[in-house]
Chain A
Amino acid sequence: MRDPNARLLLPRREILRHSCLGFGGLALASLFSREGAAQSLAPHHAARAKRVIFLFMHGGPSQIDTFDYKPLLQRDDGKPFPGDKPRIQFAQTGNLLASPWKFAQHGESGQWVSELFPNVARHVDKLCFVKSLHGTNEAHGGALLALHTGSDTFVRPSMGSWIVYGLGSENENLPGFVTICPTLGHGGVNNWSSAFLPGRHQGTPIGHAGIAARDAKLMHLSRPDGRDDLERAELEFLDRQNEVHRSAREYDAALEARIASFELAYRMQTQAPPALDVERESEPTRELYGLSDPTTENFGRQCLMARRLVEHGVRFVQCTHSYKWDQHSNLKVDHEKNAREVDRPIAGLLEDLHSRGLLRDTLVLWAGEFGRTPCAQDGNGRDHNPHGFTIWMAGAGLKGGHSHGATDDYGWYASVDKVHIHDLHATILDLLGLDHERLTYRHAGRDFRLTDVAGRVVRELYA
Chain B
Amino acid sequence: MPVAALLLLLPSAVDDGRDDHFETKIRPLLAERCYECHSDRAQRPKGKLRVDSLEALLAGGTSGPALVPGRAEDSLLVHAIRYTTDELQMPPTGKLAEAEIELLVAWIEAGAHWPGSGAAATAAPSYAPDPEALAHWAFQPIESAEPPSNADPEWSGNPIDRFVKAELDARGLQPAPRAERRTLLLRASFDLLGLPPTREELDAFALDPAPDAWEREIERLLASPHYGERQARRWLDVARYADSNGVDENLAMAEAWRYRDWLVRAYNADLPYDRFVTWQLAGDLVERDPLDFDPLIATAFLALGPKMLAEQDKPKLQADVVDEQLDVASRAFLGLTMGCARCHDHKFDPLPQTDYYALAGVFHSTATLANTNFVSRWNERPLGSPEEIELRRAQVRQEEAARKTIDDLRARGANSLVPTDAALRDAYARAGADLGASALLLEAEQASRGNLIRDDDTYGSARDVLARTGHPGLQHAEWDVVLPAAGRWRLFVRYAAEESRPVRLSVDGVARAGPVLGAPTGGWKPDALSWIDLGALELGAGRNVLRVEREGAFPHLDVLVLLPEGPFGDALRDEVRVPEFVAAHVAQARRGHEPDDAAYRLPEARRDSFFPPQLRTELAVARAAAAELEQRRPAALPAAIAVAEAEPRDVRLHARGSHLALIGDPLPRGPLRLFDGRVARQDPPSGSSGRLELARWMLDPAHPLTARVAANRIWAGLFGRGIVASPSNFGRRGEDPTHPALLDWLARELVARDWSQKELQRLILRSRTWQMASTTDAAGATADPDARWLSRFPLRRLDAEGVRDRLLATAGRLDRTLGGSLLATGNGEYVTNDQSANAAGYDVPRRSLYLPIVRNAMYEFFANFDYADPSVPLDQRPTTTVPSQALFFLNSPLVEDCALELSRRALERATPTARVRELWSAVLLREPGADELARALALVERLEELQRDPEPSPADPEPVAQGARREMPALAVGAIELRAWVGLARALLSSNEFIYID
The verdict on B775 contacting chain A, using a C-beta distance below 8 Å, is yes
Residue of B323, B776, B860, B881 near A34 (CB, 8 A) is: B881
* A177-208 contact mask (Cβ, 8 Å, vs B): 1 or 0: 00000011111111001111011101010001
The verdict on B274 contacting chain A, using a C-beta distance below 8 Å, is no
- Taking a contact as CB atoms under 8 Å apart, the answer to whether A210 and B835 are in contact is yes
Query: Which of the 9-residue segments A222-230, A356-364, A398-406 touches chain B?
Result: A222-230
The verdict on A277 contacting chain B, using a C-beta distance below 8 Å, is yes
The verdict on A333 contacting chain B, using a C-beta distance below 8 Å, is yes
Q: A88-B313, A261-B886 are in contact. Are A184 and B836 (CB under 8 A)?
A: yes
Q: How distant is the Cα of A277 from the Cα of B959 in the complex, in angstroms?
A: 11
Residue of B837, B882, B887 near A220 (CB, 8 A) is: B887
- Taking a contact as CB atoms under 8 Å apart, the answer to whether B832 and A254 are in contact is no
Q: How distant is the Cα of A35 from the Cα of B882 in the complex, in angstroms?
A: 11
Query: Which of the 9-residue segments A98-106, A132-140, A347-355 touches chain B?
Result: A132-140
The bracket for how many chain B residues form the interface is: 35 or more
A230-B943, A237-B936 are known contacts; what are 15 more A-B pairs with Cβ within 8 Å? A139-B311, A185-B250, A190-B856, A193-B869, A210-B835, A226-B966, A251-B776, A251-B780, A258-B886, A259-B992, A261-B883, A261-B886, A265-B883, A279-B961, A322-B834
Nearest Cβ on chain A to B904's Cβ, whole angstroms:
17
- Taking a contact as CB atoms under 8 Å apart, the answer to whether A277 and B960 are in contact is yes
Main secondary structure of the interface of B (DSSP, over half): loop
Q: How distant is the Cα of A88 from the Cα of B879 in the complex, in angstroms?
A: 43
Nearest Cβ on chain A to B833's Cβ, whole angstroms:
4
Q: How distant is the Cα of A139 from the Cα of B797 in the complex, in angstroms?
A: 41
- Taking a contact as CB atoms under 8 Å apart, the answer to whether B775 and A248 are in contact is yes
Q: How distant is the Cα of A211 from the Cα of B983 in the complex, in angstroms?
A: 32
The verdict on B604 contacting chain A, using a C-beta distance below 8 Å, is no
In the complex formed, the residue of B with least CB distance to A231 is B890
Interface hub of A152, A199, A254 (most chain B Cβ within 10 A): A199
Query: Which of the 9-residue segments B435-443, B449-457, B573-581 touches chain A?
Result: B449-457
The verdict on B306 contacting chain A, using a C-beta distance below 8 Å, is yes
Q: A237-B984, A242-B992 are in contact. Are A280 and B959 (CB under 8 A)?
A: yes
Nearest Cβ on chain B to A143's Cβ, whole angstroms:
9
- Taking a contact as CB atoms under 8 Å apart, the answer to whether A220 and B884 are in contact is yes
Residue of B306, B775, B888 near A249 (CB, 8 A) is: B775
The verdict on B179 contacting chain A, using a C-beta distance below 8 Å, is no
The verdict on A117 contacting chain B, using a C-beta distance below 8 Å, is no
Interface hub of B306, B882, B892 (most chain A Cβ within 10 A): B882
In the complex formed, the residue of A with least CB distance to B963 is A279
Q: Please give the residue numbers on chain A whose beta carbons come within 8 Å of chain B beta carbons, in ascending order.
A: 1-4, 6, 32, 34-35, 58, 87-90, 92, 94-95, 136-142, 145, 152-155, 173, 175, 183-190, 193-196, 198-200, 202, 204, 208-210, 219-231, 233-235, 237-238, 240-242, 244-246, 248-249, 251-252, 254-255, 257-259, 261-262, 264-266, 268-269, 274, 277, 279-280, 322-323, 329-330, 333, 376-380, 442, 444-446
- Taking a contact as CB atoms under 8 Å apart, the answer to whether A262 and B886 are in contact is yes
Residue of B86, B869, B889, B992 near A245 (CB, 8 A) is: B992
Nearest Cβ on chain B to A248's Cβ, whole angstroms:
6
Nearest Cβ on chain A to B237's Cβ, whole angstroms:
13
The verdict on B111 contacting chain A, using a C-beta distance below 8 Å, is no
Residues of B within 8 A of A274 (CB): 958
- Taking a contact as CB atoms under 8 Å apart, the answer to whether B878 and A35 are in contact is yes
- Taking a contact as CB atoms under 8 Å apart, the answer to whether B310 and A194 are in contact is no
User: Could you show 19 A-B contacts with beta carbons less than 8 Å apart?
Assistant: A1-B965, A3-B953, A4-B957, A35-B880, A138-B312, A219-B864, A220-B887, A222-B891, A233-B946, A234-B984, A241-B988, A251-B785, A255-B795, A277-B960, A376-B457, A379-B454, A379-B459, A379-B470, A442-B733
Residues of A within 8 A of B312 (CB): 88-90, 138-139
Residues of B within 8 A of A94 (CB): 457-458
Nearest Cβ on chain B to A87's Cβ, whole angstroms:
8
Interface hub of B864, B883, B884, B931 (most chain A Cβ within 10 A): B883
Q: A187-B247, A245-B993 are in contact. Are A279 and B454 (CB under 8 A)?
A: no
Residues of A within 8 A of B988 (CB): 241
Q: A35-B879, A234-B987, A238-B990 are in contact. Are A446 and B306 (CB under 8 A)?
A: no
- Taking a contact as CB atoms under 8 Å apart, the answer to whether A153 and B887 are in contact is no
Nearest Cβ on chain A to B653's Cβ, whole angstroms:
18
Q: How distant is the Cα of A1 from the Cα of B950 in the complex, in angstroms?
A: 12
- Taking a contact as CB atoms under 8 Å apart, the answer to whether B958 and A280 are in contact is yes
- Taking a contact as CB atoms under 8 Å apart, the answer to whether B838 and A184 are in contact is yes
- Taking a contact as CB atoms under 8 Å apart, the answer to whether B863 and A380 are in contact is no
In the complex formed, the residue of B with least CB distance to A454 is B87
The verdict on B731 contacting chain A, using a C-beta distance below 8 Å, is yes
Residue of B348, B869, B959 near A155 (CB, 8 A) is: B869
The verdict on B260 contacting chain A, using a C-beta distance below 8 Å, is no
Q: Which 5 A-B pairs give the minimum distances between C-beta atoms?
A: A141-B248, A188-B856, A251-B781, A265-B886, A445-B733
The verdict on B968 contacting chain A, using a C-beta distance below 8 Å, is yes
Nearest Cβ on chain A to B610's Cβ, whole angstroms:
35
The verdict on B729 contacting chain A, using a C-beta distance below 8 Å, is yes
Q: A188-B832, A444-B337 are in contact. Are A155 and B872 (CB under 8 A)?
A: yes
- Taking a contact as CB atoms under 8 Å apart, the answer to whether A210 and B249 are in contact is no
- Taking a contact as CB atoms under 8 Å apart, the answer to whether A186 and B248 are in contact is yes
Residues of B within 8 A of A221 (CB): 887, 891
The verdict on B857 contacting chain A, using a C-beta distance below 8 Å, is yes
Residues of B within 8 A of A34 (CB): 879-881
Nearest Cβ on chain A to B471's Cβ, whole angstroms:
6
Q: How distant is the Cα of A136 from the Cα of B88 in the complex, in angstroms?
A: 13
Residues of A within 8 A of B955 (CB): 1
